[in-house]
Structure 1
Amino acid sequence: MNNQNDHNTSMDNLIPTELIQSLVDNYRSNQLEAINESLNIEDAHSVWFDLPTLKNFVTEIEAHAELIDQNVKDTDLGIRFYYAAYPAVPESSVPAEYAKRHTLVMIPTKKLNNLNYDFNPIENTSESLAVAGLPTNALALNHGDLIPPGASIVESY
């Protein structure tokens, strides 16, 4: 029998729900309110990605990084989440109602000299983006589901 209590959970991954709510409330009453007022929009306050998409992204990072450096350690790889916003007229693959709203762009990172640099593992180099310069294309993840415009009924916080 598998239920949620049968799985071991790292104490590092447990956050009191009161703290989560406080953090979300702080964002909504400060940054989100300022953005909504200054841009005269109802900006997104959450972005959702399905688990297979996230797992695929991590697998791609690991596979491409290993092609460049067979000795790369998992502990040297990571993901940086950039806050971003869609343009006033989003590209055709992005819903029009996402215009000007927050999103996240996820970029792989690689540790170099104890610093976690943005890293593009599809480039044939073991250097970080800071060392190598910005490429034409980069391995990245974006286009999650935004709320709003999606229904906030699914959110707990």
Structure 2
Amino acid sequence: MANKNFDELRKAIMKKAKQGMKQEVLPFSKDYMSRAIDKIVYSVWQPPERKYIRRHERGVSGGLNDENNMIGNIVRESKTGFGFSIENITMPNSPDAPQEYLAPLIVLGQVGAIGELKYREGAERYPYGKPRDFLTETANELKKDKHKIAKVLETYMKK
């Protein structure tokens, strides 16, 4: 379909770029977040057997590393561009826990935690209660490979 003017062309390009971010770049980026979670969160603390078994280790979906809990949103949209944010929206495993996203507690640790969601008393002395910033790790790794992200989006835009 031919565009009648430059403004229509710009809108069509922006629309396709947003679709590309959600359909191609987001799945690509989820892999980076998953690796950051393994490295920064899971590898630093192995829960004692029988006390706690992580959801992904039980074959249950819904945990921190579940890609369905990694969502992308268009942010800071303007006439000439937009930002794209990736969030982890995992909720606590226990129905008795405050139903807030886990990411802030994990990233900030027990001492810096915001909201009602906390680990048990004294958790800050243990690796799981210390800050484990998988979000910054994800962002840093994506920045290192920004040329790959650009290539993913470029390939989509050429379709």
Classify the TM-score, shorter chain.
0.3 to 0.5
Alignment TM-score, normalising by the size of structure 2: 0.40
More strand by share: 1
Alignment TM-score, normalising by the size of structure 1: 0.40
More helix by share: 2
